[in-house]
C-alpha cells in the first residue's frame, strides 16, 4: 500500500491507470480512518496486483479532496481509467468492500 503525498500530476497519472485504484482519503487525527488501515491491508493481500491502493491525507492535499467532493473521512473512491466508479464515506468492512469493488469493476467492463 502506498502512503503517498501525491501532487496533482502524479495523482492524475495514478488514477488514469488501467489497474483499478482505490483511494483512501484520511487525516491523522481521524479515529475511523485509522480503523480502515488494517482493512485496506487485508484487501490488498486478497486482491494483490489487481488493485492499487493509495492513501491521501486531506489536510496535506486539500485540492484533491475538494476536486472529488470529499466531505467526510474516511472516504474511499474507486477509479479505473480516470473515471470514478464508486465513492463512499465511512468505515467499510473488508468482505463488503471487496464485494463492492468486484461488482463495480465487472459493471465497468
2-108 CATH: 3.40.30.10
Instruction: Supply the pLDDT for residue 71.
Output: 92
Whether the per-residue pLDDT at 105 is higher than 50: the answer is yes
Per-residue pLDDT tens over the stretch 46-95: 999 999 999 999 999 999 999 999 999 999 999 999 999 999 999 999 99
What residue has cell string 473515471?
83
- Report which of 76, 65, 89 is spatially closest to residue 43, judged by C-alpha positions: 76
Whether the per-residue pLDDT at 8 is higher than 80: the answer is no
- β-pairing verdict for 21-26 and 2-3: unpaired
Q: Distance between CA 84 and CA 22 in Å, rounded?
A: 10
Q: Distance between CA 74 and CA 72 in Å, rounded?
A: 6
- Overall average pLDDT of the 37-43 stretch: 97
- Overall average pLDDT of the 103-109 stretch: 92
Is residue 9 very low, low, confident or very high in pLDDT (cuts 50, 70, 90)?
low
Instruction: Supply the pLDDT for residue 22.
Output: 97
Would you please indicate which residues are annotated as catalytic (active-site) residues?
30, 33
Q: Distance between CA 80 and CA 88 in Å, rounded?
A: 16
Amino acid at each position: 500500500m502506498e502512503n503517498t503525498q501525491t501532487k496533482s500530476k502524479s495523482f492524475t497519472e495514478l488514477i488514469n491507470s488501467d489497474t483499478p485504484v482505490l483511494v483512501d482519503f484520511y487525516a491523522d487525527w481521524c479515529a475511523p480512518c485509522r480503523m480502515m488501515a488494517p482493512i485496506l491491508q487485508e484487501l490488498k493481500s486478497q486482491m494483490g496486483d489487481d488493485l492499487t491502493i493509495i492513501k491521501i491525507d486531506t489536510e496535506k492535499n486539500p485540492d484533491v479532496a475538494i476536486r472529488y467532493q470529499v466531505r467526510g473521512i474516511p472516504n474511499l473512491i474507486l477509479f479505473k481509467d480516470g473515471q470514478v466508479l464508486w465513492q463512499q464515506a465511512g468505515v467499510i468492512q473488508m468482505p463488503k468492500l471487496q464485494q463492492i469493488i468486484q461488482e463495480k469493476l465487472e459493471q465497468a467492463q
